[in-house]
Structure 1
Amino acid sequence: MGAFASYAPMALSALQTGQQISSNRAAQKSRAAETEANRQADIVQINASETERARERAEELRIRQARLRARQGAAGLQSGGTGSASAVLAGLEKHALSETQAETDAAARRRAEVNRQASWRETSLLRSSQDDTVARLNAWFARRDGW
């Protein structure tokens, strides 16, 4: 009975330490899943706003082109020329394409930033979980060895 009495506290301590480590890992996985869900939500929001802005730009371009064609058509009937209308329309399309490219690049930078921050958070969570596990094991061995 004496041997059991000396091992029982150590076994209980090992069990408690194991449970604490397991609990910490589960919490870390939960935080990592939350971080991933937040990252996905941010990416979806960026994509949605980019799609909405592209739709607005296309509609705005269509309206501007229709107005320009109507004005040029009325002026062309009076003067007989349509050359400048096609140049202006081409300029509008080129400007719209450059705006689209600039906004696409900005959205890509925002996505990259969201991904970078999520990666950093996940790495930080992993490191803190590993540090906590090592600290708990070291503390357990120190208690066991009577340090």
Structure 2
Amino acid sequence: MGGFSSIVPMAASALQTGQQISANQARQQSAVAQTEAQRKADLEAIAASKAERDVARAEELRVRQAQIRARQGASGLLTGGSGSASAVLAGYEKAALSDAALDDAEATRKRNQINQRADWREKSLLRSAQDDTVARLSAWFARRDGWGG
């Protein structure tokens, strides 16, 4: 009877430790899921902002081109004069493409930063869960060995 009474607290302790480990892992997985959801939301915000700026840039270019063409038509410039208007239009297009390239580079940089932070956070959370599991199991074995000795 004495052997059975010493095994009951050990079994209860093992069950409790297992439950604590399981609960901690569930919390860590929930935190990882939240991190992933935040990462996706941040990436979507960057994409939406970039799309909005692209639309605004395209509209501004369209308006500038229309204004140049209207001025050219209203002034009745001869064929020789249309060359300079074409150069201005080409300059506007080049500037818009340059702005778009800078915007793309900035969006890529922001996406990379978000992904790096999310990866680091996820690894950190998983490492914490592993460390907690090892610590709880070590403590349990230490208690068990203390009871057995």
Same fold by TM-score, threshold 0.5 exceeded?
Answer: yes
TM-score w.r.t. length of structure 1: 0.96
The aligned residue for residue 123 of structure 1 is 123
The aligned amino acid for 1:63 is V
Measured after TM superposition, the shift of residue 126 of structure 1 is 0.6
Q: Could you tell me how far apart the structure 2 residues matched to 1:79 and 1:104 are?
A: 39
The aligned residue for residue 85 of structure 1 is 85
TM-score w.r.t. length of structure 2: 0.95
Structure 1: unaligned runs, 5 residues or longer: none
Indicate how the Cα distance of structure 1 residues 28 and 78 shifts in structure 2: closer, same or farther if over 3 A, else same.
closer
8 Å CA contact retained: 1:32, 1:122:
yes
The aligned residue for residue 73 of structure 2 is 73
Indicate how the Cα distance of structure 1 residues 145 and 70 shifts in structure 2: closer, same or farther if over 3 A, else same.
same
Indicate how the Cα distance of structure 1 residues 62 and 139 shifts in structure 2: closer, same or farther if over 3 A, else same.
same
The aligned amino acid for 2:99 is E
- The total of aligned residue pairs comes to 146
The aligned residue for residue 55 of structure 1 is 55
8 Å CA contact retained: 1:73, 1:82:
no
Q: Could you tell me how far apart the structure 1 residues matched to 2:54 and 2:40 are?
A: 21
The aligned residue for residue 94 of structure 1 is 94
Deviation >3 Å, runs of 4+:
none
The aligned residue for residue 109 of structure 1 is 109
Does 1:25 pair with 2:19?
no
Q: Could you tell me how far apart the structure 2 residues matched to 1:72 and 1:98 are?
A: 25
The one-character-per-residue Cα deviations of 1:86-137 (angstroms, maximum 9, x if unpaired) are 0000010001000000001100000000000000000000110000000000
Indicate how the Cα distance of structure 1 residues 78 and 2 shifts in structure 2: closer, same or farther if over 3 A, else same.
closer
8 Å CA contact retained: 1:25, 1:129:
yes
8 Å CA contact retained: 1:42, 1:114:
yes
The aligned residue for residue 137 of structure 2 is 137
Structure 2: unaligned runs, 5 residues or longer: none
The aligned residue for residue 11 of structure 1 is 11
